Amino acid sequence: MAGFDAAVAARYDRFCTTPLGHYVDTVERALLARQLALVPGMTVVDVGAGTGAYSLWLAEQGARVWAVEPSAAMRAVAAAKALPPAVTLLEGRAEALPLPDGLADRVLLQVTLEFVDDPTRALAEAVRVLRPGGRLVLGLIAADGAWAAHYRARARREPAGVWARARFFTPEGVAALLPPPPPRAQGGLFTGPEEFTGEEPARTREARPPAGARPGFWALAWDKP
């Protein structure tokens, strides 16, 4: 993932400590947790593991985690977090996972598909490393939501930045790239960055979204036959 340098890694971790970042992180983890349905002892592949935040979270729930990340800068930040023995950090791309067939009970791509060069190949690799009956879970920035609009505007302002190469998906678009059955989708993040005035109003809106509100984030689950 070209462009994911040390500065980007630092900004990502800082964002999660802000009120807006904390709201986003809390909502997304809750949606992903429901879709993952983890049981202690499961093997999970975290594709596009970034700075290791989700790998640590998965390990805290008792998972054995293979954290795959192409960016050396991101891996360095993750390694500096003193990852527990349950997490193995690997260099690798989503389109060519350095792991054997049928290894994983779960594969997680959290805001990863947006940045891969070949989404179809990345999903095929995720399916390959899943065992039969295993589950692929994707966290997606909703293509028609306020957050995707925000990042598109940012890309126009920063044409050399990482968001300039991002692509955004709908659940239907991802379903077209996967074998049957279609993935199950749960949406959330109903407060966009420009609407955010604090965590409490955002939580209230999350619990009772207005009629017609569009989610900013999708958590998809696909079970391998």
Profile the chain (225 residues) by mean pLDDT over runs of 10 residues. Answer: 68 87 97 99 98 97 98 93 95 99 99 98 99 99 98 95 95 98 97 96 96 97 98
Peptide bond into 182 cis (omega under 30): no
Chain center to CA of 202? 21
Instruction: Write out the two tokens for 104.
Output: 């994983």
Helix (H, G, I), strand (E, B) or coil at 11: helix
Domains in the chain (CATH in brackets) are 6-203+214-223 (3.40.50.150)
- Cα first-last separation, the chain: 30
Distances (CA, A) of 210 to 26, 29, 52, 205, 217: 20, 22, 34, 7, 16
User: Which residues lie below 8 Å from residue 208, measured CB to CB, with a gap of 6+?
Assistant: none
Residue 43 has a pLDDT of 99
Q: Say if residues 171 and 183 touch (Cβ distance below 8 Å).
A: yes
Residue 16 has a pLDDT of 85
Residue 79 has a pLDDT of 94
Residue 14 has a pLDDT of 85
Q: Say if residues 35 and 221 touch (Cβ distance below 8 Å).
A: yes
Return the axis-axis angle of helices 19-36 and 6-15, rounded to nearest 10°: 90
Residue 12 has a pLDDT of 78
Q: Are strands 184-188 and 217-223 parallel, antiparallel or unpaired?
A: antiparallel
Q: Characterize 5-44 residue by residue with b for buried, 16 or more Cβ atoms within 10 angstroms of its Cβ, and e for exposed.
A: eeebbeebeeeeeeebeebbbbbbbebbeebbebeeebbb
Residue 5 has a pLDDT of 72
This prediction has a pTM of 0.95
Using CB atoms within 10 A of its CB, is residue 156 exposed (0-12), middle (13-18) or buried (19+)?
Answer: exposed
Residue 3 has a pLDDT of 65
DSSP annotation of 96: B
Q: Say if residues 120 and 150 touch (Cβ distance below 8 Å).
A: no
